[in-house]
Amino acid sequence: MRRIEEKPSAVPSVKPPVWTRGVVPPLIAFIVFIGGWELICRLANVKPYLLPKPSDIIQAASENASNLWVSVYTTISEAVLGFLLSVILGVGFAIVLASSKLIERSVYPYAIILQTIPIVAIAPIIVIWFGAGMNAIIVIAFLIGFFPMLSNTLIGLNSTDHNMKNLFYLYNSSSLQTMFRLRLPAALPYIMAGLKISCTLAVVGAIVGEYIAGIGGGNGGLGYAITVAASRLQTAYLFACGISASLVGIVFFLIVNAFSKWMLSSWHESEMGSEG
């Protein structure tokens, strides 16, 4: 009787989760970069005031944790208020401009001119008008984030499908109904793109405003902390403040990006594709 040899069953290959493919490579690159930075600074005996090691930065952040948290909180408050102001006024002005081609052709060039003026050039005027401190910083953050919201929203409002506009016209819809029931919902992807740009610029604007119009002391923001650390050659703490500012901008962007996915994932192709 012939013996039938059983072939071993093939072990199914286990694929790593999808999210690991997007997280693991950057994490490995980050570890290699930080480790190489630490190693090179130790071997070359680089002075901490020239280029601090990552361990020096962590130590400086822990030693000044209370002041750093206050600075981060102050900058976040200023950036959030400036960002919200840029969203409200940017979308509002875009709706006004999109409602009339004559108004758009008359006013929009001046918005472009305002965007091309360096904020440092008009910051002294802002300080004269609003006084040094939080009010001037919020205005500066608003001005930096205003134009992306205005331009993106205006492009979205002007990109509405003409067939849909004709359909609303056939049903005798008013201009307000067409604007708020058709054009504004259709412009949401463009508005979300403006939000992603404006939220990070608001952080930059708040820090720039703190350089120019900030008030020091215990409630100074990250811009003030960076200025003080640079004047005292506290390079490790300077790096800690810069990294903190970057993390604030990243968190802002992630929050707005999650909001964009929530708003668009059920109907717009860009986010529906990313969800799949």
Q: Which segment of 13-22, 60-69, 141-150, 190-199 scores lowest on mean pLDDT? A: 13-22
Question: What is this structure's pTM?
Answer: 0.84
Task: Identify the CA nearest to 209 among candidates 245, 157, 161.
Answer: 245
Mean pLDDT over 147-171 rounds to 89
Please write the tens of the pLDDT for every residue from 205-250.
999 888 887 666 557 889 888 988 988 888 999 999 999 999 999 9
Which CATH superfamily is 63-275 part of? MetI-like (1.10.3720.10)
- Residue 34: CB atoms within 10 Å: 13
Domain boundaries, the chain: 63-275
Half-sphere exposure (CA, 13 Å, Cβ side) for 44?
13
Res 3 pLDDT > 70: no
- CA–CA gap between residue 169 and residue 181 (Å, rounded): 13
Please write the tens of the pLDDT for every residue from 76-111.
999 999 999 999 999 999 999 999 889 889 988 888
- CA–CA gap between residue 225 and residue 1 (Å, rounded): 88
Res 7 pLDDT > 60: no
Res 184 pLDDT > 50: yes
